[in-house]
Amino acid sequence: MTTGFKIRDLSYIDLIAQFPPRQISNETELLATYAQIKNVLEEKLTVDSKEYLKILCNLAYDYEEISEPIPELKGRELVKALLEEDNIPFENLIPIFKNESELLNYLEGKQDLNQEQIKKLANFFDICEEELKTIE
């Protein structure tokens, strides 16, 4: 009786011998892992190489989640980020405010949102109103 995983061919063992998967602990190791992923992707993918790639990608993902957390944006900073991310001209928000001056005052931190503006912005960006209510 055998236990464990069935090795389909030597390519899996060869890949592991060439670049053993290990927990990534710094940027240099991350870059080396990316390079190995690129090398494997340049070859014809087999079942074994796909499994090996999954391991490397999971290791890279885990490292990035710990070392490069995505900042949690709220309120004004969230609005600015959404405008930039989606390449939306800030002028598209003017209908939510009385005029361009009021919009600019909000974006510059000189003015807060009222309840009606919060609702309209949340609807415009399709986000929860609570994300805009944060005191900054």
| Whole-number Å distance between alpha carbons of 132 and 121 | 8
Quick: pLDDT tens for 11-25.
889 999 999 999 999
To the question of pTM greater than 0.75 for the whole model, the response is no
**Residue/partner pairs of 81-89 with CB below 8 Å, 24 or more apart:** 82/125, 82/127
At position 107, the amino acid (one-letter code) is L
| Whole-number Å distance between alpha carbons of 52 and 25 | 19
Whose structure tokens read 């399709």? 126
Quick: pLDDT tens for 35-87.
999 999 998 999 999 999 999 999 999 999 888 766 788 889 999 999 998 89
Domain extents for the chain? 10-67, 75-131
Residue 9: pLDDT over 80 = no
The class level of CATH for 75-131 reads mainly alpha
